[in-house]
Structure 1
Amino acid sequence: MKKIKKFLLTMAMTMALGTSAFASSGFEFLLNWSGGLKLGIPNKAAKTIGYEKGGGFDTAITAQIGYMFQVKDGFGISLLGELGYALDYYNMFSDISSLSSMFNSFQLGLLPKFNIGFGGRHGLAIGIGGGVKIPISGNYTLNLDLNGANPDGSALTQLDLKREDIISMYNPALIGYIKASIDYYLFFTDSIAMEFGLYLGGDFGMKTKIGKVGLDAFDIGLQLGFRFGPKA
């Protein structure tokens, strides 16, 4: 988590110093939905007990709020804060068991963007940033099958988790994330646009207090939304 904090602080300072001399262009607000696939990557402790990669998914509804600084005609830099709701579903498997977890989280981060204007109704933005997801609730499912295909040898453990359960079970009780995005903007007016985008990301998953078992993830998906703010 220290690396995530250092990364965010460096990004914020770089953007603030790099744009302080430029004329302000205006307030920027985006509301978007994102969704995609997730590839779970077990940590060393999980691999030691036989777990391998597993598929999952994620979806989120977020708001990005900040300011765009005009560098020159057709190019601007946005410093945006990101907050919203995220749903993440993780999986990993071994020869005798599967482990699934799902979390409803409050998402908070920074997402600076480089805005390129093509004139008329078209624009492009490239963003890179990160932050944390704070799980509020979720569930944990362990399916243990000691006899292979024999249903009588299976044992299923399911736990519904509240925030206090997550805190007692994991350390840290936060999911760090990084994200890169590329968005195409179709402007209806000089300050209102539709957003169509792609994102790549990574989650730095929580580790159990007992055994230090954890699962990181690689994400890829689509995003769709509305942007309110000046053109580059």
Structure 2
Amino acid sequence: MKKIKKFLLAIAMTMIFSVSAFAASGLEFLLNVPFGINWGIPNNVANENSMTGYLGFDVGVDAQIGYMISVKDGFGVSVLAELGYSFDIYQLNRTALYGIDMTTWYHSFKVGVLPKFNIGFGGRHGLAVGIGGGVKIPISGWLGISQSIENTSGSSSFNEIRDIIKADLKRQDISNMFSPSVIGYVKVTFDYYLFFTDNIGMNFGLYLGGDFAPKQKDTELGLNAFDFGLQLGFRFGPKA
């Protein structure tokens, strides 16, 4: 019986020291609102000289949930799953094809992973650097293709914009028209945390990343994008 008591006491002491050593470890949850701009990059290499990307826009809501492991005082590593909603607008101009412009936008469900390295500055301040990626699954969208042509009337001439395609896209339409029918993404995030308590803080950050858009099946034309912007949110979890 005494041996059993000593064994249980040893286990209890080990657990106490483990918890003390990793006092800052624990569940982590972040809710962010990213918003920014993107620059289109044609992914049809054969025709890249005749195509020019335009500025686009993106906004969304991200929920990141996982666990932060305290490596030492003031430094921890987070392993986070990312789920969210993303609205992205991509734009492209094909100057060699009679001034044709193409605009696409998507409402997408986003899923990915985002490991982070957390640095604590003591007190209420902290910094985190994340590197990750995943896929955006378009649920619906819109495709618009217009053509700018020269219209001559008498002694004057002007450019006339004519719509070639204006179409709402459902998930099945996107699957039929594009391959693959998802948008891959990678990103790097830089977040500054301002803590109100030991476990609740605000997040002020910026992100850089890339989207790898699907190609149209018939033309193999698609539009990648370089993204950059800001993100604001709340963080629930231990400080590093």
Shorter-chain TM-score range: 0.7 to 0.9
Secondary structure of residue in 1 paired with 2:239: coil
2:195 to 175, 178, 187: 187
Partner amino acid, structure 1, of 2:80: L
TM-superposed deviation, 1:43: 1.5
| Match in the other structure for 1:173 | 181
Distance 1:146 1:192 in 2: 57
Distance 1:30 1:103 in 2: 24
Moved more, 47-56 or 71-80: 47-56
User: What is the aligned-residue RMSD (CA, Å)?
Assistant: 1.6
1:75-86 aligned at under 5 Å gives the runs: 75-86=75-86
1:181-220 aligned at under 5 Å gives the runs: 181-220=189-228
Partner amino acid, structure 1, of 2:217: K
User: Per-residue displacement from partner, 1:152-178 (whole Å, max 9, x unpaired)?
Assistant: x72331010000000000000000000
Number of aligned residue pairs: give it.
210
Secondary structure of residue in 2 paired with 1:147: strand
Moved more, 58-67 or 41-50: 41-50
Distance 2:173 2:224 in 1: 20
Distance 2:25 2:171 in 1: 41
| Match in the other structure for 2:164 | 156
| Match in the other structure for 2:16 | none
Secondary structure of residue in 1 paired with 2:220: coil
1:136-151 aligned at under 5 Å gives the runs: 136-147=139-150, 149-151=158-160
TM-superposed deviation, 1:212: 0.7
Distance 1:176 1:147 in 2: 38
| Match in the other structure for 1:129 | 132
Distance 2:219 2:34 in 1: 33
TM-superposed deviation, 1:48: 5.0
Distance 1:128 1:65 in 2: 15
User: Per-residue displacement from partner, 1:168-203 (whole Å, max 9, x unpaired)?
Assistant: 000000000000000000000000000000100100
| Match in the other structure for 1:103 | 106
Identity of aligned residues (%): 56
| Match in the other structure for 1:231 | 239
Give TM-score scaled by structure 2 length. Answer: 0.84
Give TM-score scaled by structure 1 length. Answer: 0.87
Contact 2:26 2:238 in 1 (8 A): yes
| Match in the other structure for 1:53 | 53
Partner amino acid, structure 2, of 1:206: P
Contact 2:77 2:115 in 1 (8 A): yes
Moved more, 63-72 or 139-148: 139-148
Give the 3 Å change call, closer, same or farther, for CA 99–65 of structure 1 in structure 2. Answer: same
